[in-house]
């Protein structure tokens, strides 16, 4: 292997830059040429590929977003689109590709690997929803952004003795909601991994206020329902007034945490090692504090375990 490329794809995540930096520096350290693909799979199809040097990735480790830009690319979901992408890689003399992104990007990489282009995937998404790795790049930073928001909301909730509903991202996964709710001391946490009864929430709010508790914070994962919808249901069913806060894309930005920078550096470097060994169709992950690599198809063949212990803990601590 003499030349590899790297791209970022799907929803951006804090720490993607640190991962790009690690790929570029490790590749050069190993004597490989390394190119950056702009705008994810879209840029790959369009041939937006440029050679990167050590200095190209200077001063980015601390920055959120991605210097390579990201995109969602419907054309890459078609066989024709992927063939165009494969041809561009060949044209540029690229023999292996590091894909930094979420599970959609991983699916694309699996398809591209099947066309004979070895791809290694680095998990980067705030959702923390990739099977086979305990953590994804960006999750820790987003978690801390949400905790900061909950702390601030708690101040005003206490002052005005109000119930707040805070909606957080995560797509179909509840990790962000669960971890942030636990860390922020939320009274109720709703995640897609477990169904809930409106009557239970009403009961909790009422028994809390019966004990003199004047404020309450409910965290709802976007995969459960919209916060606004829950507010309407609480009003209609129990005449409970709430305020709603939808944190939105703030959760995707900001300088990556130390944990995300280190994770990104470890993942990026391992991805280059795997490509150098001539392997493709591989995902990089973290298990019990060890960096691991495993077959990309396991991400889709296996099912992640729902975080039942943490759900139970959050209930026990918010009685």
- Angstrom distance (rounded) from CA 193 to CA 178: 10
Stretch that binds ligand F6P, among 14-22, 156-164, 168-176, 289-297 (CB under 6 A): 168-176
Question: Residues 230-259: x/- map of binding to ligand F6P (CB under 6 A)?
Answer: ----------------------x-------
User: What is the nearest approach in angstroms of ligand ADP to the Cβ of residue 128?
Assistant: 12
- Angstrom distance (rounded) from CA 1 to CA 33: 9
Question: Residues 120-139: x/- map of binding to ligand ADP (CB under 6 A)?
Answer: -----x--------------
CB-CB contact of 76 with 82 (8 Å)? yes
CA proximity to 8, closest of 109, 151, 117: 109
Stretch that binds ligand F6P, among 61-69, 146-154, 164-172, 269-277 (CB under 6 A): 164-172
User: What is the nearest approach in angstroms of ligand F6P to the Cβ of residue 209?
Assistant: 32
- Angstrom distance (rounded) from CA 215 to CA 108: 46
CB-CB contact of 121 with 109 (8 Å)? yes
CA proximity to 122, closest of 292, 257, 305: 292
Q: Which of 40, 81, 170, 184 binds ligand F6P (CB under 6 A)?
A: 170
Q: Is 251 in the site for ligand ADP (CB under 6 A)?
A: no
Q: Which of 4, 23, 38, 41 binds ligand ADP (CB under 6 A)?
A: 41
Q: Which of 102, 123, 256, 268 binds ligand F6P (CB under 6 A)?
A: 102
**Catalytic entry in 12, 103, 127, 129:** 127
CB-CB contact of 262 with 61 (8 Å)? no
User: What is the nearest approach in angstroms of ligand F6P to the Cβ of residue 251?
Assistant: 7
Residue among 128 and 314 whose Cβ is closer to ligand F6P:
128
Q: Is 171 in the site for ligand F6P (CB under 6 A)?
A: yes
Residues from 116 through 145 that contact ligand F6P (CB under 6 A): 125-127
Residues from 100 through 119 that contact ligand ADP (CB under 6 A): 101-105, 107-108, 111
User: What is the nearest approach in angstroms of ligand ADP to the Cβ of residue 120?
Assistant: 15
Write out the E strands in the chain. Answer: 3-8, 33-37, 49-51, 96-101, 119-123, 163-168, 188-190, 216-221, 242-246, 282-287, 290-295
- C-alpha of 305 from chain center: 17
CB-CB contact of 111 with 103 (8 Å)? no
Q: Is 11 in the site for ligand F6P (CB under 6 A)?
A: yes
Query: Is 200 marked active-site?
Result: no
Residue 216 region by backbone torsions, left for phi larger than 0, else alpha for psi between -120 and 50, else beta: beta
Residue among 26 and 171 whose Cβ is closer to ligand F6P:
171
Residues 103-133 as b or e (16 or more Cβ within 10 Å = b): bbbbbbbbbbbeeebbbbbbbbbbbbbbbbb
Residues forming beta bridges with residue 245, ordered by sequence position:
166
User: What is the nearest approach in angstroms of ligand F6P to the Cβ of residue 50?
Assistant: 25
- C-alpha of 113 from chain center: 23
User: What is the nearest approach in angstroms of ligand F6P to the Cβ of residue 269?
Assistant: 24
Report the interhelical angle of 258-276 vs 16-29 (nearest 10°). Answer: 40
Contact positions vs ligand ADP (CB under 6 A): 9-11, 41, 72-73, 76-77, 101-105, 107-108, 111, 125
Which residues of this chain interact with ligand F6P, rule CB under 6 A?
11, 102, 125-127, 169-171, 222, 252
Please identify every residue annotated as catalytic: 127
């Amino acid at each position: 292997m003499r030349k590899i490329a790297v791209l970022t794809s799907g929803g951006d995540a804090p720490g993607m830059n640190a991962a790009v930096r690690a790929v570029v520096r490790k590749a050069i350290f190993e004597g490989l040429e390394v190119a950056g693909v702009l705008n994810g799979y879209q840029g790959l199809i369009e041939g937006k590929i440029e050679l990167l040097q050590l200095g190209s990735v200077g001063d980015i480790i601390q920055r959120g977003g991605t210097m390579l830009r990201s995109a969602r690319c419907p054309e890459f979901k078609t066989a024709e689109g992927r063939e165009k992408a494969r041809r561009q890689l060949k044209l540029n003399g690229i023999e292996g590709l590091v894909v930094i992104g979420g599970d959609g990007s991983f699916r694309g990489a699996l398809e591209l690997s099947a066309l004979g282009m070895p791809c290694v995937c680095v998990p980067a998404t705030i959702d923390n929803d990739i099977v086979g790795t305990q953590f994804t790049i960006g999750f820790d930073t987003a978690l801390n952004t949400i905790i900061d928001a909950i702390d601030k909301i708690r101040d005003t909730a206490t002052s005005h003795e109000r119930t707040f509903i805070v909606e957080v991202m995560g797509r179909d996964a509840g990790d962000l909601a669960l971890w942030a709710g636990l860390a922020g001391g939320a009274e109720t946490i709703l995640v897609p991994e477990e169904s809930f009864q409106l009557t239970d929430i009403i009961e909790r709010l009422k028994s809390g206020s019966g004990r003199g508790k004047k404020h309450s914070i409910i965290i709802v994962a976007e995969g459960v329902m919209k916060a606004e919808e829950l507010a309407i249901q609480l009003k209609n069913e129990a005449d409970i007034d709430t305020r709603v806060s939808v944190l939105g894309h703030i959760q995707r930005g900001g300088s990556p945490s130390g944990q995300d920078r280190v994770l990104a550096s470890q993942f990026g470097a391992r991805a280059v090692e795997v490509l150098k060994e001539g392997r493709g169709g591989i995902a990089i992950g973290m298990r019990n504090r060890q960096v691991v690599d495993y077959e990309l198809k396991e991400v889709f063949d296996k099912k992640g375990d729902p975080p039942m212990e943490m759900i139970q803990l959050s209930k026990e601590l918010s009685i």
